[in-house]
Amino acid sequence: MLRGLLIDLRRWIDADRRWDARFDRAALTRRTTMLALEAEPGGLYDLANRIRADLPTNDPELPAPVRAVARHLAEALSTRR
């Protein structure tokens, strides 16, 4: 589930030419997403948590699908497994 959400996020990041200027930690979020997609499960979880912390969920400047991914990511990470 986490990897699928991050794949969706990566697609939106790659398609958005202005991504790095969208919010303060956008460039870091892009790089962390790329690393997370290559990570083993434990590292994936930790990096996804970092992305969740850095990605604004209610920023109206972000495309609606990115805000949706951010919300789903927060929900997935808040569920205890």
Q: Of 35, 44, 39, 29, nearest to 76 (Cα)?
A: 44
Alpha carbon 50 to its chain's center:
9
Q: Is the pLDDT of residue 75 over 80?
A: yes
Q: Tell me the per-residue pLDDT of 34-52, one tens digit each, with 9 for 90 and over.
A: 999 999 998 999 999 999 9
Q: pLDDT class for 61, splitting at 50, 70, 90?
A: confident
CA pair distance 55, 41, nearest whole angstrom: 20
Q: What is the pTM of this model?
A: 0.88
In this prediction, residues 10-38 reach a mean pLDDT of 95
Q: What is the CA radius of gyration of the chain?
A: 12
- The mean pLDDT value of the chain amounts to 92
pLDDT of residue 59: 85
Q: Dihedral sign, CA of 50, 53, 58, 59?
A: negative
